[in-house]
Amino acid sequence: MTTAPDSATLASLIEAFRHREQIGIAKYGVTVDRTDLTHVKWLQHALEEDMDRCLYMQRAIDTAIALIAERDRMRDALNLIDSMRFDPLPIGWAADIAHEALQESVA
């Protein structure tokens, strides 16, 4: 069975995993192939990572809510400004004024 080439998304994710492992090796000096942790310790690490992820997601949600509220305030302000505009003068008003001024100057 032949397999299709990796999608750009999958390739990017694989690269991100490789990069993340290099960071872990630099920080801890070992890979996840280490054997000095018990199963419970691995689960504890995973739980702590998920707790951090929840904090990151809540922060992102809070930021998104604030940005949406700011966008809505700006849209409301622009709508208010737009509603305060005067209707433009009829087309040709400048030509009419210039013609009247010319007539007055000739007379």
The residue range of the domain holding 31 is 1-35
Burial 46-71 (b: 16+ CB within 10 A, else e): eeeeeeeeeeeeeeeeeeeeeeeeee
Whether residue 28 is contained in a domain is answered as yes
* Pair 19, 49 in one domain: no
* Pair 30, 41 in one domain: no
Token pair, residue 82, equals 């737009």
Residue 33 burial class via C-beta count within 10 angstroms: exposed 0-12, middle 13-18, buried 19 and up: exposed
100 — pLDDT class (breaks 50, 70, 90): confident
85 — pLDDT class (breaks 50, 70, 90): low
pLDDT at 6 over 90: yes
Q: Collapsing DSSP states into helix, strand and coil, what is residue 29?
A: coil
pLDDT of residue 96: 75
* Pair 52, 79 in one domain: yes
**Torsion sign (Cα): 43, 44, 48, 49:** negative
* Pair 70, 46 in one domain: yes
Whether residue 61 is contained in a domain is answered as yes
32 — pLDDT class (breaks 50, 70, 90): very high
pLDDT of residue 107: 65
